């Protein structure tokens, strides 16, 4: 919405805030709730994370249209509610041909009109609309959970859980193409994995080939490796569906006592998973314009301590130790993003930052300083990505 307009600021206080809160949601407006970062970045992240996006196009501000376009580009139309003062429509008595209006780009959408001086009516109408959208989204998610993809992922998760020690934490990765999917045989899958696993990292890659090659099984290829404190399980289906679960690198050395979660390892592990997703999809012949749903899950981390000790370029090779206090308040942290492969490839670091932000927040609201995060990702080479 336009910010700094007296009428619209009052409209936010009297209508938007109360309506959103009445639906059990937390309203966020960048001028009132920013966290000191670049406002454009915060707006983008807010749109990406929001359950509901309320956009008021009163006075036809270009930035509002731009942000609406970004929301639609994320395919979040069902999350988007458009509002506008009623005098912006040609059929309104207060309409002025030379005044502000709803531009043709959005004229065909269902826009909630509001009348100045009627905050209670507008608030009630907005509440009803938000509740309908929330119900629609809940129904859609339930439908997704009931789809065969969800059952396939869950069946392999159960296999992986049986293979891991209960005291160990795990990282899980799920990749699912949202558009047209490939149709490959097992040999083609094997060749794609061999090429995609050439991802350099300070942590082990996904889809790793062991001495024993993966087995053709269940309409795809499957690999399971268990050696002491190390466990890794992954499966790739003929249509490109990929699942991986394995112990954290931090748990491969039992001297840690299964207590620590390393900031650097988590950041690199997540960035590595994103690069692997891109390379695997490209090896399967998927277009860079296709979108993929990536879900990364950390499980078994409740009560663990976050720590960080790393070497950064420009620090004369000396270890840089950053004190991190606090332990995880939750056992499982899951983050899902739908992203175009081309956009992901161009911004692996930024996407990795989004995934780690959700994870680190569980350790008493920890946030990795942006400068340190940037240097860590610059220090991580995505060779051949």
* pLDDT over 80 at 317, yes or no: no
- How many Cβ atoms sit within 10 Å of the Cβ of residue 265? 19
* pLDDT over 90 at 222, yes or no: yes
Lowest mean pLDDT among 46-50, 103-107, 130-134: 103-107
Higher-confidence residue: 344 or 317?
344
Closest by Cα among 349, 371, 368 to 358: 368
pLDDT at 230: 80
Q: Does residue 106 belong to any structural domain of this protein?
A: yes
**Confidence class of residue 382 from pLDDT cuts 50, 70 and 90?**
very low
pLDDT at 87: 94
Q: How many domains does the chain have?
A: 2
Closest by Cα among 105, 108, 119, 134 to 9: 119
> Do 196 and 340 have their domain in common?
yes
Q: For the segment 127-175, what is each residue's pLDDT rounded down to a tens digit?
A: 999 999 999 988 877 766 556 688 899 999 999 988 887 667 889 999 9
Region 342-349: mean pLDDT is 86
Closest by Cα among 382, 256, 356, 372 to 313: 372
Region 260-289: mean pLDDT is 89
Place of tokens 């509610």: 81
Q: Collapsing DSSP states into helix, strand and coil, what is residue 261?
A: strand
* pLDDT over 60 at 380, yes or no: no
pLDDT at 199: 54
Higher-confidence residue: 213 or 78?
78
Q: Does residue 384 belong to any structural domain of this protein?
A: no
Cβ pair 196, 207 in contact under 8 A: yes
Cβ pair 27, 90 in contact under 8 A: no
- How many Cβ atoms sit within 10 Å of the Cβ of residue 189? 25
Q: Does residue 383 belong to any structural domain of this protein?
A: no
**Structural domain harbouring 261:** 148-378
pLDDT at 28: 92
The mean pLDDT of the chain is: 84
pLDDT at 293: 93
> Do 238 and 172 have their domain in common?
yes
d(CA 354, CA 339): 12
* pLDDT over 80 at 242, yes or no: yes
Phi first, then psi, for residue 140 (nearest 5°) are -65, -40
> Do 70 and 31 have their domain in common?
yes
**Confidence class of residue 113 from pLDDT cuts 50, 70 and 90?**
very high
Task: Give the rounded percent of residues in the chain with a pLDDT score beyond 70.
Answer: 84
> Do 235 and 223 have their domain in common?
yes
**346: its two tokens:** 């161009």
pLDDT at 383: 40
Q: Which whole-number Å values give the CA distances from 255 to 229, 252, 259, 308, in the listed order? A: 11, 9, 10, 17
Q: Collapsing DSSP states into helix, strand and coil, what is residue 118?
A: coil
Region 56-76: mean pLDDT is 92
Higher-confidence residue: 242 or 74?
242
Region 296-325: mean pLDDT is 67
Q: Does residue 168 belong to any structural domain of this protein?
A: yes
Q: Residues 6 or more apart from 296 whose CB is under 8 A from it?
A: 171, 172, 173, 174, 270, 273, 334, 335, 355
Q: How far is CA 266 from the centre of its chain?
A: 15
For the chain, percent helix, then strand, then coil, each to nearest 5?
A: 45, 20, 35
Task: Give the rounded percent of residues in the chain with a pLDDT score beyond 90.
Answer: 45
**Confidence class of residue 38 from pLDDT cuts 50, 70 and 90?**
low
Q: Residues 6 or more apart from 11 whose CB is under 8 A from it?
A: 56, 114, 119
Given 145, 169, 185, the domain boundary residue is 145
Given 145, 172, 202, the domain boundary residue is 145
Q: Collapsing DSSP states into helix, strand and coil, what is residue 5?
A: coil
Q: Which whole-number Å values give the CA distances from 43 to 19, 258, 336, 346, 371, in the listed order? A: 21, 38, 19, 20, 20
pLDDT at 379: 52
Given 85, 116, 145, the domain boundary residue is 145
């Amino acid at each position: 919405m336009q910010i700094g307009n007296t009428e619209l600021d009052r409209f936010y206080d009297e209508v938007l805030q109360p309506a959103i809160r009445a639906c059990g949601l937390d309203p966020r407006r960048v001028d009132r709730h920013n966290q000191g970062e670049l406002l454009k970045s915060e707006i983008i992240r807010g749109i990406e994370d929001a359950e509901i996006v309320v956009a008021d196009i009163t006075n036809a501000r270009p930035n509002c249209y731009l942000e609406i376009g970004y929301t639609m580009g994320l395919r979040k139309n069902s999350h988007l509610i458009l509002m506008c003062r009623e005098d912006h429509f040609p059929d309104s008595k207060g309409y002025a041909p030379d005044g502000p209006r709803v531009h043709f780009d959005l004229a065909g959408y269902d826009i909630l009109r509001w009348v100045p001086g009627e905050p209670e009516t507008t608030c009630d109408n907005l509440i009803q609309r938000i509740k309908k959208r929330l119900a629609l989204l809940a129904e859609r998610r339930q439908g997704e959970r009931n789809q065969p993809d969800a059952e396939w992922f869950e069946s392999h998760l159960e296999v992986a859980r049986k293979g891991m020690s209960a005291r160990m934490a795990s990282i899980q990765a799920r990749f699912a193409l949202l558009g047209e999917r490939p149709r490959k045989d097992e040999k083609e899958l094997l060749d794609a994995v061999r090429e995609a696993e050439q991802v350099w990292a300070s942590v082990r890659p996904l889809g790793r080939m062991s001495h024993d090659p993966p087995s053709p099984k269940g309409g795809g290829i499957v690999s399971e490796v268990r050696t002491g404190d190390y466990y890794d399980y992954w499966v790739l289906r003929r249509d490109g569906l990929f699942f991986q679960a394995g112990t954290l690198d931090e748990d491969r050395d039992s001297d840690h006592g299964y207590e620590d979660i390393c900031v650097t390892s988590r950041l690199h592990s997540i960035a590595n998973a994103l690069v692997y997703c891109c390379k695997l999809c490209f090896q399967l012949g998927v277009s860079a314009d296709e979108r993929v749903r990536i879900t990364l899950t950390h499980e078994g981390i409740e009560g663990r301590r976050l720590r960080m000790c790393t070497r950064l370029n420009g620090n004369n090779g000396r270890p840089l130790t950053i004190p991190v206090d606090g332990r995880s308040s939750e056992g499982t942290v899951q983050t899902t993003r739908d992203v175009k492969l081309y956009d992901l490839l161009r911004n692996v670091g930024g996407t990795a930052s989004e995934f780690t932000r959700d994870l680190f927040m569980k350790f008493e609201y920890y946030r990795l300083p942006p400068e340190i995060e940037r240097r860590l990702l610059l220090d991580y080479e995505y060779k051949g990505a």
